[in-house]
Amino acid sequence: MGAAAASCGGGAGGAAAVHTQKKVRWRLASSFPSSLDTIFGAATVLAERVKAMSGGNFDIRVYQAGELVPGLQVMDAVQKGSCQIGQTGGYYYTGKNPALAFDTCLPFGMTARQQTAWLTEGGGGALMNEVYADFGVRAMPGGNTGAQMGGWFKGRVDSLADLNGLKMRIPGQGGKVMDALGVNVQVLAGGDIFPALERGAIDATEWVGPYDDEKLGFYKVAKNYYYPGWWEPGPNLSFLINQEAWNALPVEYQAMLEAAAAEGARAMMTRYDAKNPAAWQRLLATDITVRRFPDDMLTAARAAAEELVEAEAAADPQYREILTAWRHFKDESFAWFGAAELAYADFAMGDGALANR
């Protein structure tokens, strides 16, 4: 490398060569088990790309949920510096700041493409990093699952009243909405959900969609598969980075990390889009019944979601600022997508629409 740098005239090239020879060893804590290869896989893509681009000098070791810290304590670990980077969802940490929900998604909010556009090109990422800065953390978009299913229920939900007293695993703002509708909300990491559902500690759970849900085996113990997942129409996952660790990186390594995070994010979304259709067909071949949430529940949930964000905005000026920007982007995006994408989908995909089974 030294000879190559010298042949290019030294100067900036020589400096870059010195910087990228620096040995850096980081630890990445994920909120997800390695068995969920599509979500967890985004973290391994990031680590592999950074290592390749740096010639092995920037090495990130990836740990699944529970190896370094429990799945719902990843942000805490990054904040404390016990690991330099984490893979998680901002909405797991709304107890620290309710505005962190915007980094993932809000109920009845934007789709995956829209959420990604807001974070990367619409100013959302800068707003979110103002929130994360209070915790000594910076965030990079780390992938999206796409619109999710409504989850697995042991019993039927035929009306809003059937939610009263139901024990359900659901995090984030969706969990707050469900709480307002009478649900006994619980937040569990991915690897803890099946045992809780199997032994009856919870009556229902949401996760992602067919590919992951099949892997986690929910269809074995809960036979009612509901849609739509109105609380997560396009949830963004994030790579959270300790700010001091970021500042200590050579600028070349910072650029590598940004590029690798973007590739990991792309891989997550495209892999879900490639794997969900076949998994959906396999699930339909089992003894489950696919059901649509009743209209009175959806109407009540949307009203409750609106009340919750208004209450948060009234209590916190920073939340209000983010909500205003988010709504502006969402309204314009919905107008455009509603004209083009929705019209096409209604016509072209109508024959494949979900139906009760």
pLDDT for res 195: 96
Superfamily of domain 2-146+234-274: Bacterial extracellular solute-binding protein, family 7 (3.40.190.170)
Give me the pLDDT at residue 19, please.
Answer: 61
What phi, psi does 315 have (nearest 5°)?
Answer: -90, -15
- What integer pLDDT is reported at residue 191 of this predicted model? 83
pLDDT recorded at residue 16? 52
For strand 24-30 and strand 58-63, is the pairing parallel, antiparallel, or unpaired? parallel
CA distance 310 to 48: 42
Of 239, 228, 229, the residue nearest 103 (C-alpha): 239
* Domain ranges in the chain with CATH number 3.40.190.170: 2-146+234-274
**Cβ neighbours around 118 below 10 Å, total:** 25
pLDDT higher than 70, residue 346? yes
Does residue 329 have a pLDDT over 60?
Answer: yes
pLDDT value at position 190? 84
pLDDT value at residue 1 = 45
Q: How far is 196 from 169, CA to CA, in rounded Å? A: 9
Which tokens belong to 42?
A: 């985004």
Q: How confident is the model at residue 355 (pLDDT cuts 50, 70, 90)?
A: very low
Q: What is the mean pLDDT of residues 178-193?
A: 93
- Could you read off the pLDDT of 75-100 as tens digits, one per residue? 999 999 999 999 999 999 999 999 99
Q: What is the pLDDT of residue 17?
A: 55
Under CATH, what is the fold of the domain 148-231+290-314?
D-Maltodextrin-Binding Protein; domain 2 (3.40.190)
Domain ranges in the chain with CATH number 3.40.190.10:
148-231+290-314
**Rounded to whole angstroms, how far apart are CA atoms 209 and 220?**
15
Q: Which amino acid is it at 47?
A: A
Does the pLDDT at position 7 exceed 50? no
What is the rounded CA–CA span in Å between residue 205 and residue 221?
Answer: 11
Lowest mean pLDDT among 8-17, 23-32, 48-57: 8-17
The predicted structure's pLDDT at residue 11: 44
Q: 238-259: per-residue pLDDT in tens?
A: 999 999 999 999 999 999 999 9
pLDDT digits (tens, 9 = 90+) for 253-311: 999 999 999 999 999 999 999 999 999 999 999 999 999 999 999 999 999 999 999 99
